[in-house]
């Protein structure tokens, strides 16, 4: 059997990042709640076990804990709360320093072996700390392997057993050499095999889908975005013509978007695709609506109606619905205080279908991050122009025409947006940017063109860098690129006489304007 790492989730916001780092090292892992029984864990046969961080203090009433026998099932890596827990259940002392330490810290490596294999004695390493408590006295049998100014016992290991602990977070990007530590744990300590590639992921998911679906039928709502495209391509690889994709043209798409989706799926991949042209229905429903939440509601409801009508024709006998939900869409984790908690950003789900819908869901990407989904898409042979696409919101240009949405306004925005993206690609910057788009503002301003005074629309340009869309920075375009984009939009798009660039970060601004 291939190597598998069990990650016990004590509630840290970074737990899924641990899983991600393990996948990056090409080892299979699963995240489970710490309430799994010893018996369950033994049956699971972990090659190694990682205890995540968490918000509690080990001494708190009801704090999640672990049976000391856990530490003998497989090699252990305790991270932050995981380290404190190992110390606590093994007879060490954990204390509260009276204040939280949050941020970068310098670590001094005392023992360049085990997790720190490949480092030099006394070498310094930048790490990310986020904790209130820390280990004050290591349990019997443990030695200190690294220290920092604020935490003398910043890492420790058992003298004879394969148990390693760190007070900091090796899984976050702010611990630049954290990946090496995790690799040392996986390969040096657990002797895991690096066999979990995007190809292995695809094979395993295909197998799962085949077993689940049997000879039944499946439907998938394609949005043209990366997530639903990759999910559809994967399921298609598994069950071929048992899958029918439905693409709703809501009239709020970007220039040539519909043709691109049809070409990729129908012509290149041979997927059964039904396109429903519902533009008029969406635009009629949106007529006169200015308030963004109301627009979203109307777009969402219209989508559900159109999709259900389409599937009662095209996928009449389908039992399953494929959704391209990703991990950041589903923040589902064990919550030590209140039991399992599930928060779903409904607006990210394909239309947020009705709760009483008859379909069972297939969500093959629900544990992955966006860039991992892109790699899976590449593995499936999807064209780069599709897997590398910037995210695009479900309500589309409907929330990028501010104020009332109309066909002429959409047309102006579509053309400005196409020029913007074309120039970004031309300057070779598309892949450096998380998301770039134009917004049509509901204001007009005065300009001059030739001998005439103009009174026309303002287009705002937005481009951000981000890793997950939760926080974002504005992208520092070279001035000449901005200049070229602005000139072209003003000269080529009738109805626009002014272009502005948005230099707001998220938070406090959001990525979309709405």
Q: Binding of ligand XMP at residue 391 (CB under 6 A)?
A: yes
The angle that helices 226-239 and 198-213 make with each other, rounded to 10 degrees, is 60
Pick the closer one to ligand XMP by CB: 76 or 511. Answer: 511
Tell me how far, at minimum, the Cβ of 333 lies from ligand XMP, in Å.
20
Which of positions 403-462 make contact with ligand XMP (CB under 6 A)? 435
Provide the 3-class DSSP secondary structure of residue 254.
coil
Interacting residues of 480 by C-beta distance below 8 A, sequence separation 6+? none
- Running DSSP on this structure, what letter comes out for residue 379? H
Tell me how far, at minimum, the Cβ of 301 lies from ligand XMP, in Å.
13
Q: Binding of ligand XMP at residue 396 (CB under 6 A)?
A: no
How many residues sit in the footprint of ligand XMP (CB under 6 A)? 13
Taking CB under 6 A as the binding criterion, the range among 122-130, 256-264, 392-400, 401-409 that sits at the site for ligand XMP is 392-400
Beta bridge mates, 158: 142
Q: Binding of ligand XMP at residue 511 (CB under 6 A)?
A: yes
- Site map 278..307 versus ligand XMP, x via CB under 6 A: ------------------x-----------
- List 469, 489, 493, 497, residue binding ligand XMP (CB under 6 A): 469
Contact 448, 454 (CB under 8 A): yes
Which residue, chain included where needed, has tokens 């291939």?
Answer: 2
Q: Is 80 assigned a catalytic role?
A: yes
* CA atoms of 231 and 222, how far apart (whole Å): 9
Pick the closer one to ligand XMP by CB: 297 or 425. Answer: 297
Show the beta-strand stretches assigned E in 309-451: 318-322, 330-333, 341-344, 360-362, 435-449
Q: Is 256 assigned a catalytic role?
A: no
* CA atoms of 391 and 278, how far apart (whole Å): 22
* CA atoms of 430 and 349, how far apart (whole Å): 25
Q: Is 171 assigned a catalytic role?
A: yes
* CA atoms of 14 and 53, how far apart (whole Å): 8
- List 393, 410, 462, 498, residue binding ligand XMP (CB under 6 A): 393
* CA atoms of 99 and 253, how far apart (whole Å): 50
Q: Binding of ligand XMP at residue 395 (CB under 6 A)?
A: yes
Pick the closer one to ligand XMP by CB: 10 or 369. Answer: 369
Q: Binding of ligand XMP at residue 377 (CB under 6 A)?
A: no
Active site residues: 80, 169, 171
**Which residues bind to ligand XMP, rule: CB under 6 A?**
296, 347-348, 391, 393-395, 435, 469, 506, 510-512
């Amino acid at each position: 059997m291939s190597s598998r790492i069990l990650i016990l989730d004590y509630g840290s916001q970074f737990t899924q990042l641990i899983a991600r780092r393990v996948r990056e090292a090409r080892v299979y892992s699963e995240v489970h709640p710490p309430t799994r029984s010893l018996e369950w864990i033994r049956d699971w046969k972990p090659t190694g076990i990682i205890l995540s961080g968490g918000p509690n203090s080990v001494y708190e009433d009801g704090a999640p804990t672990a049976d000391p026998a856990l530490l003998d099932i497989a090699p252990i890596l305790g991270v932050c709360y995981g380290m404190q827990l190992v110390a606590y259940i093994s007879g060490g002392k954990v204390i509260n320093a009276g204040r939280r330490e949050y941020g970068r810290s310098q670590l001094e490596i005392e023992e360049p072996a085990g997790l720190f294999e490949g480092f030099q004695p006394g070498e310094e390493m930048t790490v990310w700390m986020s904790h209130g408590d820390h280990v004050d006295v290591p349990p019997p049998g443990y030695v200190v392997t690294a220290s920092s100014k604020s935490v003398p016992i910043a890492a420790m290991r058992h003298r004879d057993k394969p148990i390693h602990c760190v007070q900091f977070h090796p899984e976050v990007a702010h611990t630049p050499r954290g990946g090496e530590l995790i690799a040392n744990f996986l390969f040096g300590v657990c002797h895991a095999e690096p066999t979990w590639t995007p190809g292995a992921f695809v094979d395993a998911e295909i197998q799962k889908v085949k077993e689940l679906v049997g000879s039944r039928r499946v439907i998938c709502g394609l949005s043209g975005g990366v997530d639903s495209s990759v999910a559809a391509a994967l399921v298609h690889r598994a069950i071929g013509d048992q899958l029918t994709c439905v693409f709703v043209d809501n009239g709020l798409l970007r220039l040539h978007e519909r043709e691109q989706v049809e070409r990729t799926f129908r012509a290149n991949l041979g997927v059964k695709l039904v396109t429903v042209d519902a533009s008029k229905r969406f635009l009629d429903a949106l007529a006169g609506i200015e308030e963004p939440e109301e627009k979203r509601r109307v777009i969402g409801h219209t989508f559900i109606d159109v999709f259900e009508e389409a599937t009662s024709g095209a996928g009449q006998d389908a039992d399953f619905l494929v959704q391209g939900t990703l991990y950041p869409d589903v923040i589902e984790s064990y919550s030590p205080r209140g039991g399992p908690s599930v928060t779903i950003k409904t607006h990210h789900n394909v239309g947020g279908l009705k709760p009483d819908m008859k379909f069972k869901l297939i969500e093959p990407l629900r544990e992955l991050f966006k860039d991992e989904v892109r790699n899976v898409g590449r593995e499936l042979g999807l064209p780069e122009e599709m897997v590398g696409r910037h995210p695009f919101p479900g309500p589309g240009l409907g929330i990028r025409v501010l104020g009332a949405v109309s066909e002429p306004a959409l047309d102006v925005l579509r053309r400005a947006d196409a020029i913007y993206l074309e120039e970004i690609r031309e300057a070779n910057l598309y892949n450096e940017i998380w998301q770039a788009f134009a917004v049509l503002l509901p204001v007009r301003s005065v300009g001059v063109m030739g001998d005439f005074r103009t009174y026309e629309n303002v287009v705002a340009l937005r481009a951000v860098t981000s890793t997950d869309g939760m926080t974002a920075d504005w992208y520092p375009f070279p001035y000449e690129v901005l200049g070229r984009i602005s000139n072209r939009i003003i000269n080529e798009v009738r109805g626009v006489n002014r272009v502005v660039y948005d230099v707001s970060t998220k938070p406090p601004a959001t990525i979309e304007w709405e």
